[in-house]
Structures are given as C-alpha cells and as structure tokens.
Structure 1
Amino acid sequence: MLESLNFHFSLYDWLLVFMVTALGTLSAYLKDPQLKAVTATIPIPCGFAYIAVGLPMGTENAVSGFMCMLYVHIVRILHYKVKVPIVPSIIAGLAFFVALGTFLHSRIPQGEAYFIGACVFDFVIGVIFFQKQKYKSGVRYKTPLPIYIKAPAIAGVVSGLMLIKRLMGGFCTSFPMMNSIVSYESRFSLGDQCRQLPLFLIAGPFMFATMRYVEIGFGLNHWIVLFIGYIVFALIYWPLNKELKHRNEINYNSNMPAEAKA
C-alpha cells in the first residue's frame, strides 16, 4: 500500500533527494542571482530522476522542459505582478505543473516524430526567449539561516516533492524540484531564474535526443547514457551561459547612471 501511495523510496530516489538537497542548499548560500539560477538548470537532478524512473528519454521529457519554464514564469508573475507571497506562488506553479503533467502523462504520443517535434519546439522557444529577453539586475542575497537549519528544511521539502514523482512518469525528469527551491531562494531576483531557463531549452533537447538514441541503439547502461548526455549538454550550455553572463553585464552597465560608471 505504501508503495502504491509513492511512500516507498528506492536507492536512486534517496540519491535524488540527496543531490537536490545539496544543490538547493548551495543555492541558498550563493549571493549571485545568476549562479542561483544556474543551479536550477544544470541537469543533475534531471539525470538522477532519469535513473530513478528507469524510463527511456521520450516526448514527455522534452515537453516537461517547456513546462518547467512555464512554472518559473507563473511564479514570477504571481509574486511580482499579482503580489502573491512567494510560497503560495511556488505552490501554484507546482500545482500547474502536476495538473498538466498528470493530464498529459497518458495522452502524450510516443512516436519518434512526436519526440523530435517536441525537441525542435523546445529549441526554437529557447532560442527566441534567449534572443528577446531583457536584463534587469537581480538582488544579491543569501540565506541568513545556519546550514544545520537550512539543509534539513530543504531536505524535507524535497522529500515531500518526491512523493508525487511516480504520478508524473517521464515528466518527473524535469519536475521543478530544484526550481522550486531556487524560486524561494531567488525570490528577490526571479527574473534571473526566468532568463536562465531558455539555456536549458536550447541544450536540453540535444541531451534528450543523444540519451534516447544511444540507449536504444546501443543498449548501454543508464549511467553511461547519462554521462554521455551530460557531456553533450555541457558542450552547449557552458558557452551559452558565458554569453548570457556577458549580455547581462553589458545591459547592466549600459543602464547604469554615468556617475556610477565613473
């Protein structure tokens, strides 16, 4: 009964809890808002969720990447525009992701054309957002709480989020566990988190496709497949992140008053 209610955690589930807790705690003590956002977009939790779920990369994985970007914009709009407190905003964003993911779980077609189409869609949306987004300086902030309080609190939140993991199927790999932690820690600079997600949409499809066809074509161990996917992701994500940082600095400096530049 416990297992049917998703209360049973496998070794890989606990490993995922540990990794997300570690990254979430790291984000809490980083002052740079962009670095906080980076911790939410590097696919370590995504990869360990892939191992834990044990399903090949498919259309759901590609679609969930876009859903993750919708999540961060929902949180940003609710918190900044509608003035909803950050915690209810995060809960609303998660509820949207879970509701949509649960609805689509048994309805997303799994053919190759659909998978490739979803990857292309992610890539195009990522490029458009990356090219069109504007920079506004985020607030440098780190938690004042000691790590022996912050880390267990984050672990508790992550463990709670894991309870709904199996409801999501392939959507679990991009379920915003890490993004929900970073949304709270970046509540003064949610724009930086939103600007970082297009990088995942650009690099993620190449990782998904590589992992899918390496696994199907060669039948390699999931850990080897994941390692290959990480390499592909890093080769694309790293230069994009440097470019984003460069654009942020240029736009920030161009908006500074003349006396501040002197």
Structure 2
Amino acid sequence: MANRGQKRVKKDFFPVFATFELKMLESLNFHFAFYDWLLVIIVSALGTISAYLKDPQLKAVTATIPIPCGFAYIAVGLPMGASNAISGFMCLLYVHIVRILHYKAKVPIVLSIIAGLAFFVCLGTFLMPRVPDSEAFFIGVCIFDCILGIILFQTQTYKPGVRYKTPLPVYIKAPAIAFVVSGLMLIKNWMGGFCTSFPMMNSIVSYESRHSLGDQCRQLPLFLIAAPFMFVEMHFIETRLGWNHWIVLLCGYVLFAAIYWPLNQELKRRVRAAGGVELQPPSPK
C-alpha cells in the first residue's frame, strides 16, 4: 500500500512540477517565440561582425542601423508609438552614461555597460505605463528627437577614433555574444514598446568600441534624425492602411536609409576633415 501511495504521489507530482516550472519560466520571459529567436540570431550576427571590424565608425554604424529595432518591432507586435521615439533618446543617454563612467569615472567597461542598461530598464519600466497614447504626443516626441539630433550633429566635435578588433577567434566570440544577447532578450517583454530601441546592439558595440566610445556617441544623432521619420511613416501606414508588419517595416527601412546614408557620408567627411591619425589601442598590461 505504501509503495502504491508513493507511486501515486510521484505520478501526480511530476506533471504539476513541470507545469509550475513552465509557468515560472514564462513569467521570467525564458520562453522565446519564433521572432525572439530570429532577433537573437540577427543581433548576434551583427554583434559578431562589429567585433571584427577595425574601423570604430563602422562599429558604431552597426549599432545604429535599425535591423534589430525592426525585428524587435515584429517580435513585440505593437504599433510604432511614443515609447519607440522616447527609447531612441534613451539610447543616446545610454551611450553617454557608458562613456562618462568608463572614461571619466574610470569604471570598468563591463560595469559601465551594466549601469547603462540598468538605467535604460529602470527608466523604461517607469515610463511604460505613463506614456500617453495620443498621436499628438508621439509626433511631438519625434520632432524633439529630430531637432536634438540635428543640434548634436552640428555642434559635436569630430576626430578620428581608435582602430581595434577582437583578437578572439570567431568560434569563441560568436557564442559569447549570442549568450549575452539571449540574456538581454529575457527582459524584452518587460519593456513593451521601449524594447524596439533597447540597446542590445549598443551594449555589444560599447564593449567592442571600448577604446573609442566617442565614435558611438557621435553616431547616435544620425539615428535620432532619421529614426523619427521612419517611426512616423510606419505608424501611419500600419494604423491607416493596415498593411502587413513586414511591408510596414520594409517601407520604414527604405525611408531610414534614404536619410541616414547621406548623413553618414557627411559624418565620415567631417571626421576626415578633423585630421590626425587614428590611434591604436593601448597594449594590455
């Protein structure tokens, strides 16, 4: 009888435990949907490419092209709105927090990145239930982003950065980046619309550009200028025409590229005009 009772307990326990474990993992956002895995693959691939680029400005470009942003939009399934525009500005704050902590306060780069991400998550979580849903507010934030981007682009200083690429072989670097990106994905659902500009790529590039964080900071104004036009176009195509998300995203990419490309060419021209020789990173002690 005792053995039969133990068997019944075991039979009842394991399905209940499995259900509890599944619910717990889902509540912690450990359950990835198809688009989540697609986003992990895309960001991991871009992050790995950035690690092997020597040009710091090209590294910064990989952090500002909206491929991860677009796939996050598909994964989240929410229309473009004010939270997307605000998160673009928050990315600018993130890169400057990392730069100031690492260069001015001499905080190790990994801790600086963690602090920047913590700021983004805390601010995004605080703002998410408080951001107005109105189109007028959304347009206003987009105008603010664009004007701020233009002001920064016209007033920031330009100088050649530090050329550096990772010495690690790709079979070590790529899995390491994929592991980090998967960890960052765990907080995706907490961020709602703020997820689309969550600094997944920026955090990878911040580490890979740790000898030249100024290039990453100089690149963000280009995103602030081009992205609001993309956000507005995608919002109105989706809400007025009801087109498929992939078509909406493609339209957004075309407009973003048309604005971003000439701005990036001008940025490169200004860096070249600043003169000087690109420095090499300090040798490890």
Query: 1:135–1:252: 8 Å Cα contact kept in structure 2?
Result: no
Match of 2:98 in 1: 75
Match of 1:146 in 2: 169
Match of 1:11 in 2: 34
* Counterpart selection for 2:134 from 103, 107, 111: 111
With over 3 angstroms needed to count, the CA separation of the structure-2 counterparts of 1:53 and 1:121, relative to structure 1, is: same
Report the Cα offset of residue 253 of structure 1.
Answer: 4.7
SS in 1 for 2:32: coil
Query: 2:160–2:277: 8 Å Cα contact kept in structure 1?
Result: no
Where does 1:165-244 land on structure 2 (aligned, <5 Å)?
A: 165-244=188-267
SS in 1 for 2:27: coil
* Counterpart selection for 1:123 from 131, 146, 151: 146
Deviations 1:106-136 (A, max 9, x none): 0000101100000001001100100001013
Normalised TM-score (structure 2):
0.88
| Aligned partner letter, 2:242 | G
Residue identity (%): 76
| Alignment of 1:252 onto 2:275 | yes
Give, in whole Å, the separation in 2 of the partners of 1:3 and 1:220.
Answer: 30
RMSD: 1.3
Deviations 1:40-63 (A, max 9, x none): 000000000000000000000000
Equivalent pairs, count: 256
Match of 1:260 in 2: none
Report the Cα offset of residue 103 of structure 1.
Answer: 0.3
Report the Cα offset of residue 252 of structure 1.
Answer: 2.3
| Aligned partner letter, 2:161 | G
Give, in whole Å, the separation in 2 of the partners of 1:108 and 1:19.
Answer: 29
Deviations 1:135-169 (A, max 9, x none): 13211000000000000000000000000000000
Give unpaired runs (5+ residues) of structure 2.
Answer: 1-22, 279-285
* Counterpart selection for 1:134 from 157, 178, 181: 157
Give the greater-gyration-radius structure (CA). 2
| Aligned partner letter, 1:230 | Y
* Counterpart selection for 1:58 from 65, 81, 86: 81
Query: 1:59–1:108: 8 Å Cα contact kept in structure 2?
Result: yes
